[in-house]
Amino acid sequence: MHLLSARFGALLAFQQDRPDLFRCLVRPHLGVMIGKLALDLRIAGESVLLELGIERLRVGISIGLLA
């Protein structure tokens, strides 16, 4: 779990430092990352996050296909 929080911390720092690059490079894939995080947390018993993650995964894929 510490590794996941470090990754999201790095993403937040990157978003604040370079918002232009964040929009172009990271944002289309962020939904997929959040979806994967939610699926990983489901193994630990967080079924509510699974549902939220799948919805965000769909949004991330849609954004990626439109870009």
Predicted pLDDT of residue 17: 75
Q: How far is CA 30 from CA 6, 45, 66, in A?
A: 15, 23, 14
Q: What is the largest CA-CA distance in the chain?
A: 36
Residue 59's CB: how many other CB atoms inside 10 A? 15
Q: What is the pLDDT of residue 46?
A: 46
Note the pLDDT of residue 44.
52
pLDDT score recorded for residue 5: 60
Q: What is the pLDDT of residues 2-41, one digit of tens each?
A: 455 666 677 677 667 777 666 655 555 555 555 555 555 5
